[in-house]
Amino acid sequence: MSDTSPSPVRWGLLGAGRITEGALIPALRARGAAIVALGCRDVERGRRLAERHGIDHALPYAELLRRDDIDAVYIGLHNSAHLPWTLAAIEAGKHVLCEKPLALNAGEVRRMQQAQSRTGRLVHEAFMYRYHPQIDRVREIVRSGELGELQLMRGSFGFRLDKPDDSRWDPALGGGALYDVGVYPLSLMRLLAGTRPQVRGAWGRLGPGGADVLAHAVLGFGDVVAHLDCGFTLPGLDVHFEAIGSRGRLRLPNPFVAKNVEAELHVCVGDEQRTERFAPVDHYMLMAAHFERAVRGEEPLRWTLDDALEQAEALDEMLARLRVS
């Protein structure tokens, strides 16, 4: 009897940061994927991390991309490095799963689209939260009409960033709260509204280095009004999402960081209220599983670079209209 199980995707990981170590490596291990090499600017530091996780090779980024035993790369570098290393990986024949934000502007996404069209390699923006079952359920409820006509959305993602040397403080490295956490509620708003947003206004505050550290935006999705908040200077984690229709509302207390915890969805329609609960899952693992199936040609990507382009265009407009104090 022949073995019909699919061949594991062979991975290279660019970046040795907290998401790579704390999320991607465990997710890929759970998939049984082959992690061939870890790419790190500080190769000695990379060797130590590779040894901790049983990865055979720790290499400079370019050397990793030259290997012919790697099918796909995950890019977990600072935001300004996403474009050059995504393009380098595509040209090296690798598929790319890149952390959000995929790019710093719409022009960068268009360059990725051109390279993808020429090479046939896949590029995917790593919005892991979209793969949690609670998000599919929210989409189902909104589309079913149970809430009536969608009228208002509110989304927030903020926390306290205490590391003074973190790249997210530095606008030259693609830092700022909108790029780091504001992208999450924006992405979910677009997912539920199903249409391109118009930025009605954006306000914020800059930190000492010039990056936005607090931001609020008002968006319009046709007749739907949306309020978005994000920040680096809050006293604790502030994460939630709410969608309100003409007949009812729903609320996600933990829409974006629900890895391996029980998640809840609260729905109120008229006098009826209910709470739907979701068993703990690793949404990074679910994302990696989908990406690997797409790499093997078993299914199309759920979200293509057209989605990433619309996201980047909305961010461009928000940043262009951001009034700061």
Residue 7: pLDDT band (50, 70, 90) is confident
From 107, 126, 145, the end of a domain falls on: 126
Is the residue at 299 inside a domain? no
Tell me what the mean pLDDT of segment 293-313 comes to. 97
Calculate mean pLDDT across residues 290-316.
97
Band of pLDDT at residue 4, cut at 50, 70 and 90: low
Q: What per-residue confidence (pLDDT) applies to 32?
A: 87
Whether residue 133 is found in the same domain as residue 273:
yes
pLDDT digits (tens, 9 = 90+) for 226-257: 999 999 999 989 999 999 999 999 999 999 99
| Domain-embedded: residue 303 | no
Same domain, 140 and 272: yes
Separation CA 253–CA 246 (nearest Å): 21
| pLDDT above 50 (res 1) | no
Q: Is residue 300 part of a domain?
A: no
Q: Which helix (H) or strand (E) holds 38?
A: strand 34-39
216/228 Cα distance (integer angstroms): 6
Last residue of a domain, one of 105, 126, 147: 126
Say if residue 89 is in the same domain as residue 231: no
pLDDT at 241: 98
Looking at the fold, whether 142 and 267 belong to one and the same domain comes out as yes
| Residue-wise pLDDT tens digits, 206-229 | 999 999 999 999 999 999 999 999
84 with 39, same domain: the answer is: yes
**Residues of the domain holding 202:** 129-281
Is 2 part of a structural domain of the chain?
no
100 pLDDT higher than 90: yes
pLDDT for 2 equals 46
Residue with tokens 């934000």: 101
- 88 and 133 both lie in a single domain: no
Is residue 156 one of the residues assigned to a domain?
yes
Percent of the chain with pLDDT over 70: 98
Contact 72, 97 (CB under 8 A): yes
DSSP string, 193-261: H-S--EEEEEEEEE-TTS-EEEEEEEEEETTEEEEEEEESEEEEEEEEEEEEESSEEEEESSSS--BTS
| Rounded-to-integer distance, Cα 225 and Cα 223, Å | 6
**pLDDT averaged over every residue in the chain:** 96
Q: Tell me: the pLDDT tens digits for 128-172?
A: 999 999 999 999 999 999 999 999 999 999 999 999 999 999 999
pLDDT tens string 35-79: 999 999 999 999 999 999 999 999 999 999 999 999 999 999 999
| One domain, residues 147 and 239 | yes
- Residue 233's CATH number: 3.30.360.10
Q: How far is residue 105's CA from residue 103's CA, in Å, rounded to a whole number? A: 6
In which region does residue 5 sit, left (phi positive, over 0), alpha (psi from -120 to 50) or beta (all else)? beta
**Kind of pairing between the strands at 322-324 and 57-59:** unpaired
Read off the pLDDT of each residue in 192-210 and give the average, rounded to a whole number: 96
Mark out the alpha helices in the chain (DSSP H runs).
Answer: 18-19, 25-31, 43-52, 61-65, 82-91, 106-119, 133-144, 177, 183-193, 283-295, 305-320
Residue 172 located in a structural domain: yes
Residues 220, 259 within the same domain? yes
Q: Is the pLDDT of residue 118 over 70?
A: yes
CA atoms in the 13 A half-sphere facing the CB of 324: 16
